[in-house]
Each structure stands twice: as C-alpha cells, then as structure tokens.
Structure 1
Amino acid sequence: MSLHTFNPVPHCPGERVMPLAPLLTLPNGQRWVAQHYLRYQHTLQSVSALLAQIDFDAHTALFAGQDAGGVYLQVGLIGRENYDRSNTLRAYKLVYGRKWRIDADTPTSEIIQTAFLAIKKAREHEVRELLTVRNAAGQTSAAFSNHHDLPLLAQQRSALQPATKPAAGLTDELAVLRFAQRRITLLQQVDLAGERVLLDLQLGPAPLARQLEGDLPEFAELSFSVILPRGAWAQLPYAIMDALIAHSDRHVDETFRFRGFARFSRANSIQAIAALSLHTRPYARDLADAQFAQIFRANNYEVDASRAPALGQGALAEKNQRLIGQFADLLGHLPQGYAQAPARQTA
C-alpha cells in the first residue's frame, strides 16, 4: 500500500517531493518516491553534484557552468590533434564540445542522459574528423568533418553531385579511405537477397607513432560490417562512417556510469527494466486521490507551459505559423504569440 508523506528525503540534489506524493514499496522492500512525483529546481551546484557521480574514461571530463543563458554542462576531451598526420608523436590537447543548456525544471534523469548524449556527440565530432579521403593528387581531406561551410555547400550544390564518369569500383573506393591513418581492408564480400551485399571490413594497424600514442584503443584493428545496395560503391564511405560512429556510441553505452551503474549497457535485462518501470507507474491507483491528482496535473501543466517558446517575428515565425496552422484542434501548448486560440489543458 502507498502512504502519503509530506517530507520524504529526495533522491538527489535539486529535487523536491510533491505534496501528498505516494510512496512506493519496491520489490526489495525499499521505499521510494517515483521521479514523476518530484519537482525540480536544479542549480549550478546540483548539476555539478550530479556530474561528479558520472564516470566515463581518463580522457573525458564533464564540466558544469553558468552564464547569462543559465546553467549548462560541457564535455572536455583530452586527445591528439586530428589534423596532424605527421609521423611524430603529438602533444595532448584539451578541446571542448558545445554547451548543453539545463533548465532548472529538468528532471534529474534527463540531466544524466544529457551528459551521456553530450559525450556521444563530442566523440562523434572527433570520429568524423578521423575518416579521411585522398584525391588523385594525394591530398587528404576530412570530408565528414563538421567544420565545412554549409552556406557554401548549399550555394555549390550542383558541383557536389556524383560525376558522370564511370563509378569507381569497390577496391578503388577503399583505397582512398583512411581512419586515423589506418587502411581499411576488405575481408570478405557476401551477396545477400534483395540486391544487397554485405562487406566485412577491418581497420589496419596504425602508423608507429600513432601506436605509441595509444589513443582510441577501442578502434585498434576493428572488424565491422556494412550492407550496401549491390554495386553502389559510392555509398561505401557513408556506410563506413555510420559503422564507426555506431562503434563509438556502443563504447559509450558500455563505459558510461552513474553511481557505478552502466544504465545503457546491453548487459542489463530490458525485461527487468520494463517490470521496474511498470511497478513505479500505478497511475490509476495514485490519481484516485483527487487532492493529489489536482496537484500532479497542475504541476505537469505548469512545467509543459513553461517550455513553450515564443513564436517571434520574421521569416522563421511566418514559417512556423504556416506549419502549425495546418493542424486543426492541435493539443499541447502553442508558441507564445501564436495567432489562434491557446491549447486546452490536458492530463
């Protein structure tokens, strides 16, 4: 049976329990307040305390900060200069990812997951710079890098279409690609049904200087597979990039820990997670208490309303006005300044 309490101990800093929130009894007998019955008022101090309980690796730091835009978290990566492809040992360098904003009412679990995503995206940024393409003159470019001039690419779109000359073969496509100065070799090719082909690939050994540096050991002589439409070898660099990013993401899944728990590891039982989630959501029982139901719904409405942006002015506002206007009787909270009637309140 759930019991009402006005002052249970919050699970983490920045949390407050809703008045009359019911307590759960977990399968192990522990008492708990479900996160959807908490209110959040996170600060720089509470976000810092949460990030201090996250572990990843010896080359990744998490920072919490605050500026005129509010509280944010940020990833710092300690590694080598990706664009230095010399045969000498390179000094370590500390680089920073983008700032990820944290609203005060962000649930604790979402802050932890934001740190998880920030690490993934910071690593993806580095991985994209490491897959390079060599042209006929022997020049090397990080074609998948995020540093390209997008307005220029849009202006030059016609020049970016595939050449009309005969398409390069599989061997030729692989020959011009490197990942962190490693060759990519074909182990085997398997024809599949439906005009598709499976390629088993492997990263070769790194140059001696890169081996001595020992960076990104999770990619050392990595074997991986990609699937392409038969003969569509021009898509191979994209498929390889997807596979390398997926490998980086899986490394984060298994390595990221909060309070020592690898939440995103595939060693966890998804059935057990589902069972625990269902156990913590007996809404029909909890909302049978009319007084608490009013508090719960009012809190949810207040949080959702606070997240609605302003429509603004100019071309973007006009574009969004037309987009939203296509949907009649739209539920949810419409942008502030939107011309139609405000959204109805929902449970």
Structure 2
Amino acid sequence: MKYVNLLPGEIALDNTPSYKISSDQQCIPQHYLSYQHDLASVEKLIIDIEYSQQFPLFVSEDKGGIYLQVGVIGQDNYQTKDEQPKTKIVYGRKWRVEPQLPTSEIIQTALLAIKTAREHEIRELFKLSIQSKTTTPFNNHHDLPLLSQNKDYLIEQHQQHSWSELQQCLDNIGYDNASFFINDIQQRPSASYIVELEILPSKDTKLPELFAEKYITLILKTKNKNELLFELMSQLIHLSNRHVEEHFNYAGVARFSRKLEVERIAELSINTRQLHKENAPEEFTHKWKIANYETDLTRVPEIKSLALANKIKNCLAHFQPLEGVLPKLNLTDN
C-alpha cells in the first residue's frame, strides 16, 4: 500500500488517519494536516492552476508576507479602441496567504481573486448613456463618502414604468459592445415579473459568456428602471462567476464546475471527515486538536483603537455566551 505524496508546505502528524483511494493507494485528507507554506510551495500550487491568459495569477512576497495578485490584460475601459492601439496590464489587490492556510484554501483564494478581478472589469463594461454622456454607474471607483453625504438625493423614488420605457432604458445600455432586448414577459401570481432578455453581442464583444448564453432571465419585483438595472447587473455578475467556476481548474479539475456530481462530492466528504473517530489513536486526536487551536490563535485580530474596540465589544455582547477565541480588544484610552 502506498500513500499519495503530500504537497509542499503540508505536514502530517504521527499516526495521522488515512483514506483508501484504491486497492494500492491511500491519502491523508487535508483537514488532518498542518501547514507551513512558503513562497515556493504557493508558487507550486499556482503553477497548477489554469483559467485565462487574460487574467494571469502572480505570487509574490513583501514585508507583510506572501500574497496572490491577479493581472488583467486588455484595454482601458474608459478609452475608445482608437485611443489605445496597444493592450496593457494592470494589477488587482493583494490577497494575503498565511503560512498556516490549508492548501485547498489557497487554491480557493486564487479562485476568489480571479472572480473579484473579473467582476471589477465587467462593472466597468456596463455603460449607461445619460444626459448625452456615457457613464459606468456600477463601477467600484465611486466616491462612497460623497454618496453618503447625498443619500437623500440618491434614494430611489419607486416609480412605475411601462415595458416600452424599460426597453428604452435598455437601449441606453452598452455592455462590452453588446445590447439587450426584452424578448418575453410573464407576470407571476406574486405580482413580480419574469423577464427574458435576448443578448445581442457585436463583432467587438469579447466576453465569452455573452456568446455562450443567448438569453438571460431577470425576476423583477416591480416595473421599474432601477429594479431592471440592478437585476441585470446581478445577472451579468452571475454569468461572469459561472464562467470562472467552469473554467478555473487546479491540476485539471474544475472544483466548482456543475459537471461534477454533488452527491459524489458529498460521499467523498462523508468518507473522509470522521476518520479520527474510527481508527486514529487517542494521542493523535489530542495533538490534532491542539494543532488546530494553535492555528486559530494565529488568526485572532488585535484591536488597538478604543473606538473600534468598543464597537466590537457591543457587537459581541449580542451573542453571549460566545465560544471560540475572542479578539484582543484594547478597552482603555492610552
């Protein structure tokens, strides 16, 4: 009987329980391991991740530790095609990777980083023509303090609009050089509406999901432009996330693809989650719980600001008695 090799950065305790994969192979499930990842071990994981050449995934290290970062290759979303004959690369936020982070969580952090970077892009591709100008109302760069100072002006008025008015609203939208047409409308007994939109890509449309899906379905609680725009943006984000889930793979497996059978994933989980209760020595279980607790200690935040500490204290007071490792709160004004 041979064991599937552990990956770099993974450490097995003595007498760690294992799972029989086949007649001649066994593995140690990830939740029974401890971790000490470094730059090299994280790089090895990222090399085995594939998604899109437009979104390269980087691993680097600075004074704060190891981090993942997504590059975005393309054209500036705020300039015309003629204004930028060359493509460029920009970089998303840094996603910190703790040395104690399980291997699977590092891979899922990469998935989330790509989803977030792609969502950032598609929010900028959603363009609304208003007052003879074009704007991106759902982008991530709006001045939030300014919006909060003008909340009374911004509050939606709950107007009702006709279907022709809603189509006119759609006619003022461009999304990656694609447009939308109301193809069908059905009113539900709950008084909400199911609206089927036809996606009309152009020769300049680049997002692959806009060619894979001919229609998208919106559920509107009311016939209202604001409701329409928000629901449309939500569905476009959903399409983007689904594209990542189907095409992001680690070592050839797309973990969140719907081609994987959920019940078989559940079966594998059932067979591996409780091995320590079946055939592991008590000594292992004790050491394993201590190792998990020590890992939890590395994640406990320390709040030094008195104002924030008091806010957190008041929040936690609603959940007493509270188990787990509590945050370190400075409740004195130094």
| TM-score above 0.5, yes or no | yes
- How far apart, CA to CA, are the structure 2 residues paired with 1:91 and 1:192? 49
Matching residue within 196, 202, 210 for 1:219: 210
Q: Secondary structure at the match of 2:127?
A: strand
Cα distance, 1:67 vs structure 2: 0.7
- How far apart, CA to CA, are the structure 2 residues paired with 1:49 and 1:277? 25
Aligned pairs, number: 327
Number of the residue aligned with 2:74: 79
Identity %: 37
Give the 3 Å change call, closer, same or farther, for CA 30–256 of structure 1 in structure 2. same
Cα distance, 1:182 vs structure 2: 2.2
Cα distance, 1:81 vs structure 2: 1.4
Q: Which moved more, 1:142-151 or 1:196-205?
A: 196-205
Matching residue within 262, 282, 285 for 2:278: 285
Q: Do structure 1's residue 153 and structure 2's residue 147 form an aligned pair?
A: yes
Number of the residue aligned with 1:52: 47
Q: Which moved more, 1:70-79 or 1:229-238?
A: 229-238
Note the alpha carbon deviations across 1:41-80, whole angstroms, 9 max, x for none.
Answer: 0111111110000011221211001111110001111112
Give the 3 Å change call, closer, same or farther, for CA 124–175 of structure 1 in structure 2. same
Q: Secondary structure at the match of 2:181?
A: strand
Q: Do structure 1's residue 268 and structure 2's residue 260 form an aligned pair?
A: yes
Q: Secondary structure at the match of 2:93?
A: strand
- How far apart, CA to CA, are the structure 1 residues paired with 2:25 and 2:265? 17
Number of the residue aligned with 2:174: 178
Note the alpha carbon deviations across 1:226-264, whole angstroms, 9 max, x for none.
Answer: 010142332101101011110011111110111111111
Give the letter for the 1:154 counterpart.
Answer: S
Number of the residue aligned with 1:344: none
Q: Which moved more, 1:232-241 or 1:111-120?
A: 232-241
Note the alpha carbon deviations across 1:266-292, whole angstroms, 9 max, x for none.
Answer: 0111111111111112232145x2211
- How far apart, CA to CA, are the structure 1 residues paired with 2:201 and 2:27? 51
Q: Which moved more, 1:267-276 or 1:79-88?
A: 79-88
Matching residue within 293, 296, 313 for 1:301: 293
Matching residue within 70, 95, 99 for 1:100: 95
Give the 3 Å change call, closer, same or farther, for CA 304–10 of structure 1 in structure 2. farther
Q: Secondary structure at the match of 1:333?
A: coil
Q: Do structure 1's residue 24 and structure 2's residue 19 form an aligned pair?
A: yes
Q: Is the 8 A contact 2:4 2:26 kept in 1?
A: no
Q: Secondary structure at the match of 1:98?
A: coil
- Residue ranges of structure 1 left out of the alignment (5+ in a row): 340-347
Number of the residue aligned with 1:65: 60
Q: Secondary structure at the match of 1:123?
A: helix
Give the letter for the 2:7 counterpart.
Answer: C
Number of the residue aligned with 2:302: 310
- How far apart, CA to CA, are the structure 2 residues paired with 1:239 and 1:77? 26
Cα distance, 1:36 vs structure 2: 1.3
Number of the residue aligned with 1:343: none
Number of the residue aligned with 2:223: 231
Give the 3 Å change call, closer, same or farther, for CA 24–171 of structure 1 in structure 2. closer
Number of the residue aligned with 2:104: 109
Q: Secondary structure at the match of 1:187?
A: strand
Aligned CA-pair RMSD: 2.2
Q: Is the 8 A contact 1:13 1:42 kept in 2?
A: yes
Q: Is the 8 A contact 1:120 1:248 kept in 2?
A: yes
Q: Is the 8 A contact 1:16 1:40 kept in 2?
A: yes
- How far apart, CA to CA, are the structure 1 residues paired with 2:290 and 2:88? 49
Q: Which moved more, 1:179-188 or 1:253-262?
A: 179-188
Normalised by the size of structure 2, how large is the TM-score? 0.91
Q: Secondary structure at the match of 2:53?
A: coil
Q: Secondary structure at the match of 1:231?
A: coil
Q: Secondary structure at the match of 1:193?
A: coil
- How far apart, CA to CA, are the structure 1 residues paired with 2:306 and 2:180? 49
Note the alpha carbon deviations across 1:301-342, whole angstroms, 9 max, x for none.
Answer: 111122111132232111001111233221000012467xxx
Q: Is the 8 A contact 1:51 1:112 kept in 2?
A: yes
Q: Is the 8 A contact 1:81 1:90 kept in 2?
A: no
Q: Is the 8 A contact 1:167 1:234 kept in 2?
A: no
Give the 3 Å change call, closer, same or farther, for CA 132–10 of structure 1 in structure 2. same
Q: Is the 8 A contact 2:158 2:224 kept in 1?
A: no
- How far apart, CA to CA, are the structure 1 residues paired with 2:129 and 2:85? 22
User: After the TM superposition, which residues 322-337 of structure 1 pair with which residues of structure 2 at under 5 Å, given as runs?
Assistant: 322-337=314-329
Give the letter for the 1:235 counterpart.
Answer: E
Give the letter for the 1:124 counterpart.
Answer: E
Q: Is the 8 A contact 2:59 2:68 kept in 1?
A: yes
- How far apart, CA to CA, are the structure 2 residues paired with 1:127 and 1:323? 35
Normalised by the size of structure 1, how large is the TM-score? 0.88
Give the letter for the 1:183 counterpart.
Answer: S
- How far apart, CA to CA, are the structure 1 residues paired with 2:182 and 2:90? 34
Q: Is the 8 A contact 1:311 1:335 kept in 2?
A: yes
Give the 3 Å change call, closer, same or farther, for CA 22–162 of structure 1 in structure 2. closer
Q: Secondary structure at the match of 1:317?
A: helix
Q: Is the 8 A contact 2:185 2:196 kept in 1?
A: yes
Matching residue within 226, 237, 243 for 2:235: 243
